[in-house]
Amino acid sequence: MSYKHTKIWNVDNWDGKEPLPPELEEAGLCISRGEAVAFPTETVYGLGADARRDTAVEQIFAAKGRPGDNPLIVHIGDRSQWHPLVSSIPDMAEKLADAFWPGPLTLIVPKSDAVSEKVTAGLDSLAVRMPEHPVARALINEAGVPVAAPSANRSGRPSPTKAEHVTYDLDGQIAGIVQGGDAGYGLESTVVDCTGEKAVILRPGGITREQLTDVLGAEHIVQADAAAEEDTPKAPGMKYRHYAPSSPLVLIEGGMQKAALAARREGKTVGIMAVDEHRRELEASADVFIPLGSKDKPAGIAAKLYDNLRAADQSGVDVIFCETFPKEGIGEAVMNRLEKAASAS
């Protein structure tokens, strides 16, 4: 569907308390009428539509150019809303929801037949998340329906962490965009499959492995390893190209200056993405230097990562070199996204 005007509802100044701004009432009505609307969450901006209606869900896939076999996460505004959507709630899912909802955690559980088949792409399971962001929650409650929402980017682009990223990718393709400031985490939710014996981390994200381990115990959690994902992907989204910048992205674990020099000798223009602490040392080796934030503030690096990847992409350099990070805490999710971007380019 194409729209002459994608409506903008700005609720940036809303403090999350009653009364609800009229902009959110209007956006909620739009979703309940079966249209697709982008909105902020604490992870990234999502593109939401009524999860029960095929025609509504189809608009999401069409606007994003998303393959139909990649299922969507259903967002709820209140914990009680997941009962009609699922056929059972495994104990570990209940425990994780107790600990981390509302928040950046998606739980895969056995589905009921309440949501459109298009949402689950033929799987027996459903991904559910209760976001923490007050705008997201208020919008879902106002719409009064379960809201299917992938990240609000064109497929193959980095997830949007600012409303302007959504406009850049989807203007004219969707009914509207709720503008509510920058996403706080900046990376997508952690996806945990709770349908088997153990909890399987399908995608690292805002809730860290360490946090999950504290709740379930290390013996009850496994990581879907990268090789297994490629053969028989548990999270179907894993098999698609992700966040691929148009210039190749290369991760460098040491010897950044040497790598940059070699590329420049070949006549290439070079972008370097590195922490603020390395700026003085590395800036002269780059045509474009993109500071990632302080190495002492990994959450800040995560929050700006996609914006920085978009900037690197738009800088037009021939090759982008990026530093690596320790895979602990939120660093695991940061490295997961960087490795995907690097392998896809």
Question: Interface mask (CB under 6 A) for ligand TXA, residues 111-130, using x and -?
Answer: ---------x--x-xxx-x-
Q: Are 126 and 111 in contact (CB under 8 A)?
A: yes
151 is in an annotated binding site: yes
CA distances from 7 to 159, 176, 229 (A): 20, 4, 38
Question: Interface mask (CB under 6 A) for ligand TXA, residues 220-249, using x and -?
Answer: --------------xxxxx-----------
213 is in an annotated binding site: no
Q: Of 50-89, which residues contact ligand TXA (CB under 6 A)?
A: 70-73
Amino acid identity, residue 117? E
- Burial class of 289 by CB neighbour count within 10 A (0 to 12, 13 to 18, 19+): middle
133 is in an annotated binding site: no
Q: Are 159 and 153 in contact (CB under 8 A)?
A: yes
User: What residues form DSSP beta bridges with 128?
Assistant: 74, 107
Instruction: Please identify, using beta-carbon distances, which residue of 44 and 272 lies nearer to ligand TXA.
Output: 44
Cis bond upstream, residue 102 (ω within 30): yes
Q: Of 255-314, which residues contact ligand TXA (CB under 6 A)?
A: none
Q: How far apart are CA 74 and CA 274, in angstroms?
A: 35
User: What residues form DSSP beta bridges with 110?
Assistant: 125
- Residues near 100 by beta carbon (within 8 Å), at least 6 away in sequence: 207, 211, 215
Q: Is 149 in the site for ligand TXA (CB under 6 A)?
A: yes
Instruction: Please identify, using beta-carbon distances, which residue of 146 and 271 lies nearer to ligand TXA.
Output: 146
75 is in an annotated binding site: yes
The stretch near ligand TXA (CB under 6 A) out of 143-151, 161-169, 210-218, 296-304 is: 143-151
Q: How far apart are CA 251 and CA 161, in angstroms?
A: 22
Q: What residue has token string 């990649």?
A: 70
Question: Interface mask (CB under 6 A) for ligand TXA, residues 12-41, using x and -?
Answer: -----------------------------x
| Interface positions with ligand TXA (CB under 6 A) | 41, 43-44, 46, 70-73, 104, 106, 108, 120, 123, 125-127, 129, 149-151, 188-189, 191, 202-203, 234-238
Q: Which residues are annotated as a binding site for L-threonine?
A: 43, 75, 129, 149, 189
Q: Please state the residue numbers annotated as binding site for ATP.
A: 66, 70, 151, 159, 203, 243
* Binding-site residue ranges: 43, 66, 70, 75, 129, 149, 151, 159, 189, 203, 243
